[in-house]
Amino acid sequence: MGGHQLRTRLFSSVLQRSQDNLPPTQPGRMPVFQGTGKSPSGGPHWYRERYGTEPHPACRHHTARRFEKLVKAALFDLDGTLLDTPSMIVAALREETIRVTGRRHSDDRIRALVGLPLDDIAEALADKDADHANRIASGYRRRYIERIVPTGVGLVFPFVEVGLKQLREAGWSIGVVTSKNHQGALEILASAGLVSAIDVVVGADDVADPKPHPVPILAALKRLGVPPKYAVMVGDSRYDIQSGGRAGVRTIGVNYGVGRASDLAEAGAGSVHGSFQGAVGELGKCFPTHGRRTFAAIATERKGF
């Protein structure tokens, strides 16, 4: 038998063994698991339990990438991080405060409150007068629905859509953690055309203790199934950074919203960037060896979380 014939027979034999390792429901295709990354018993060896064999070496990087998408999360604040809404929020709160109380607060004072739940902001602007605070909050909600929500598509900061797409393609789960109520967040995200890019939304009314407490971040991670050690919070206010730090996640500040770089750094931000593109670039540096961990290690972490 000539050398060429021998090589041909050897290649055919290897190819046949490769095909034998493929799932019977997917002839001629590399197996890519589309489920949760867990076997029916919840263990790490879902592929072996599903197909009765180990994955072919040529396919392992595909299964690893599918699993990796479930185990790191980028969480974003909404106002001032994804959407350029702070100036409109400040104007609406200023007008409502004047209408209800007759007092005019400086824009800087109001801006410093943005990032807290609306009821807390209204209470501060009303000097803790409960009736005035309720009226300010009610009037603001009306202005928000009438004036801010309809303009959502024009409020998306540069590179946000592209950046979210890049993160998803790189295996990140995406969450929004905001001090808006849940429905208000969904309305503005829908208007901005960003709903399909988000895996989970946690609003102030979804938890007992909103930002700057760690509870909303931990709630988002629980829904995503991601441990805090593999998550990053990105925000433009000190409340975002404080919440992230208390939740045990990495934090990235952006200073194009309401917070100054010095304030974000003082709050504990790991880094501060002047653009969303810069923040996405920083996210790309996080967890550089994350994809090389074994299935068993990842599954153990998820089970413990």
Residue positions annotated with a catalytic role: 77, 79
For CA atoms 256, 261, 263, 265, the dihedral sign is positive
Could you write out the DSSP letters of every residue in 193-251?
T-GGG-SEEE-GGGSSS-TTSSHHHHHHHHHHT--GGGEEEEESSHHHHHHHHHHT-EE
In three-state secondary structure terms, 211 is: coil
For CA atoms 209, 210, 213, 219, the dihedral sign is positive
* Residue entry with tokens 């209204």: 122
Give CA–CA dist 176/234, Å, rounded. Answer: 10
Give CA–CA dist 278/20, Å, rounded. Answer: 46
Give CA–CA dist 244/277, Å, rounded. Answer: 20
Q: Both tokens of residue 194?
A: 């960003």
In 3D space, the residue among 146, 122, 219 whose CA is nearest the CA of residue 178 turns out to be: 219
In 3D space, the residue among 191, 187, 95 whose CA is nearest the CA of residue 143 turns out to be: 95
> Exposed, middle or buried: residue 108 (CB in 10 Å: 0-12, 13-18, 19+)?
exposed
